[in-house]
Amino acid sequence: MRVTLFGASGLLGQDLVKALTGEQMTGVELTALSSKDADLRHGARVREVISNSRPDWVILSAAYTDVDGCESNRDLAFAVNCEGAVNVAEAAREAGSRLLFLSTDYVFDGCKLSPYETSDARNPASVYGESKALAEVRLLEILPEVCIARTSWLFGDGGKCFPATILKLASARPEISVVNDQRGSPTFTRDLASALVRLCSVSARGIVHVTNSGNCTWYDFAGEIVRASGLATTVKPVTSGEFPRPARRPAYSVLSPDSLHAYNIHMQEWTDALHSYLAGAPSSVVR
């Protein structure tokens, strides 16, 4: 299987490279590209890369993911997250390649009180969410067989993430404040990468929700990080209103796992994933 990966240097991309080149992945020819290798906004370059690599699958994990930055850089957000994705989809169609596109829980407004299904209507409340939601619509028009993998609350090695930030703060402060009115599913990039590779191997199509099992608030997440690390820092719950941000976050963005389970792929609990992250243990995605 030939795979071309856009976003290879990102938090998820690094684990995708490892998952695609591991000992169990014999017969995979990987072309791994960072934004320096191929800017999604440059359609000619994207077409050149895909034409030369002739992939069976294109995995698009590259994106402009600064949620607050997107609010003040709307044009850039749509240029990368939507038009850039369209460039990749059109090039994949020309090359006869399948496409797996990484999307987000931010395509929903967070007003629901039960897990979001893949069939629920998109209603983003931020520019980042809008850019991803429109990309989903456009890609389904260009490549009806596209696989859109929505995920949430990513953490992993090799870059900035919530656990790393909490550990840094907790090691320097006796008390930290964390919002307790936003609920979602923390997702370990190592587990996510394994699940995405599995989706490619079974020729998945349509929208699939891919997160670690279970859900929590950011306060719960921070509390477990501190507890599991043996730190004495007190974690204080606060409201989102006490920590205003430029972009509105969904209050509830838990994604239903039914679409993932339909492919017989199951993700470990977020608490177990967190402990794996803290211990550097191998992934335990069920195949």
128 is catalytic: yes
Query: Looking at 64, 106, 128, 277, which residue is catalytic?
Result: 128
Query: What single string gives the DSSP state of each residue in 7-62?
Result: -TTSHHHHHHHHHHSSTT-TT-EEEEE-TTT--TT-HHHHHHHHHHH--SEEEE--
Query: Three-state SS across 144-174?
Result: CCCEEEEECCEECCCCCCHHHHHHHHHCCCC
Q: How far apart are CA 77 and CA 185, in angstroms?
A: 24
Check: CB of residue 107 under 8 Å from CB of residue 136: yes
User: How many other CB atoms are there within 10 angstroms of residue 55's CB atom?
Assistant: 24
**Token pair 């859109």 is at which residue?**
148
User: Which residues have a catalytic role annotated?
Assistant: 128
